[in-house]
Structure 1
């Protein structure tokens, strides 16, 4: 079969122009999509910096997790339960695998009900500092319990594969909240709008634990970037369509002339 006349060198410029235009449109669309995702992630983290609320005003000991409060800063007040310290495996920090160190806090005024609190991260269980004891008060980020389906292979040790209440209850004598919290290490010195100062927050000797679940952001957050991404992809499709029409029309013209 003879090669298409449109593959001759004199037509290469048209094909190259179409390819460049489609490539630019696709690239700009991906750039805007990445900007949309980055802005949403940034806002989710910013929501963790809003004014803290009292834990007891956000969730009660027997309440289900309030879905719109993921990442909500809360003021935790109570007493540490050091004998029930647990470790959560498979947690990453700066690219290294290690463990979350988690100790319950018996919340003041809640009849002994305790909240699981992630105090920080350690590379090895044996490297974790001793659990704190006594009264405590600090700001932490509220998180819903996990349910990844991982099975605790050894229920007799203090290492859990996830923060799951059914697993933790086997190690803790108190009733547990249907949530857990991560101590806000980077603001433990009281650098919050409410001005409270952390007391015995249990983070000494531990690296800060990062949040696995960030709060939801508004549907319209960075919507302009998403629309720009779609717009650029439409431009790319239009450029590809124009090229296809030109190829079709030019091919038909050359055949007619022949």
Structure 2
């Protein structure tokens, strides 16, 4: 037993506990993230009561996973130079584009949220982008990350509504979310006239393996933990064998000592 409690052995035991514990903990964290994302996709908040945007999400906050589809109210100023078109949105059986214009949370220099004003089948036929103040109600959505390739990053058409793609186009900071126009205050300047109505139903269908990356990361971390245990077991076994007393072989011939004279 003592050969398992040498200084080298104790160090190996401690390292194995730390590595295995860290891998197990990180695996559980990724597994929880996988479950949370799938649960968020299953919850429909779109029929709930609208709340002020800043009660749900701050300008520098990550998107809260349990607020996908939350109706929010937002009053601010349009940023017309930030208007873009997002392809791959179907309306009434036709493929087309979302028309997206950022709306600040106050004055022109305050943080902004990209707002989907409506749908069009041809970007050139979209009405002019609105400017000035507006007050809207919209459905909150997280930044998209489908991995779609943008064939021309310099134009105003994007294959997905990814917040990181919009940051370089306007001066105000952007929230980590966008919103789909649901309704507007009477007389509000939405720029939706001339556009077909956009809705979250026009979002591309979620993949069959929602948040699969998190689940694979969890399995990967647990594999690392199992590998650390294997390395520990090999080290401990070989170290113990090297310190074990050597037993004599009874079948071996006796050694005869010679004395030189």
Query: How far is the alpha carbon of 1:110 from its aligned partner?
Result: 9.6
Corresponding residue of 1:38: none
Corresponding residue of 1:74: 72
Corresponding residue of 2:235: none
Residue-by-residue CA offset, 1:52-73 (whole Å, 9 max, x unaligned): 1001111011101111111111
Contact 1:70 1:213 in 2 (8 A): no
Match of 2:177 among 176, 179, 183: 179
Match of 1:200 among 189, 193, 196: 189
Partners in 2 of 1:175 and 1:203 — Cα distance?
24
Partners in 2 of 1:74 and 1:213 — Cα distance?
22
Contact 2:108 2:172 in 1 (8 A): no
Partners in 2 of 1:127 and 1:109 — Cα distance?
29
Q: Which aligned pairs between 1:1-258 and structure 2 lie closer than 5 A?
A: 47-108=45-106, 112-184=110-182, 187-188=183-184, 197=186, 199-211=188-200, 212=203
TM superposition outliers: structure 1 runs of 4+ over 2 Å: none
Query: How far is the alpha carbon of 1:203 from its aligned partner?
Result: 1.2
Query: How far is the alpha carbon of 1:90 from its aligned partner?
Result: 1.1
| CA pair 210-136 structure 1, distance change in 2 beyond 3 A | same
Deviates more, 1:111-120 or 1:175-184: 111-120
Partners in 1 of 2:111 and 2:72 — Cα distance?
16
**Structure-1-length-normalised TM-score:** 0.59
Partners in 1 of 2:168 and 2:108 — Cα distance?
20
Partners in 2 of 1:109 and 1:48 — Cα distance?
28
Query: How far is the alpha carbon of 1:144 from its aligned partner?
Result: 0.6
Query: How far is the alpha carbon of 1:49 from its aligned partner?
Result: 2.4
| CA pair 131-111 structure 1, distance change in 2 beyond 3 A | closer
| CA pair 158-152 structure 1, distance change in 2 beyond 3 A | same
**Structure-2-length-normalised TM-score:** 0.58
Contact 1:138 1:198 in 2 (8 A): no
Contact 2:77 2:107 in 1 (8 A): no
Larger radius of gyration: 2
Partners in 1 of 2:176 and 2:119 — Cα distance?
22
Provide the secondary structure at the position in 2 that maps to 1:168.
helix
Partners in 2 of 1:104 and 1:155 — Cα distance?
18
Contact 1:89 1:162 in 2 (8 A): yes
Query: How far is the alpha carbon of 1:140 from its aligned partner?
Result: 0.3
Unaligned ranges ≥5, structure 2: 1-41, 206-261
Residue-by-residue CA offset, 1:93-139 (whole Å, 9 max, x unaligned): 01100100000011117952110000000000111000001000010
Unaligned ranges ≥5, structure 1: 1-42, 191-196, 215-258
Query: How far is the alpha carbon of 1:158 from its aligned partner?
Result: 0.5
Query: How far is the alpha carbon of 1:213 from its aligned partner?
Result: 8.2
User: CA RMSD, aligned part only?
Assistant: 2.1
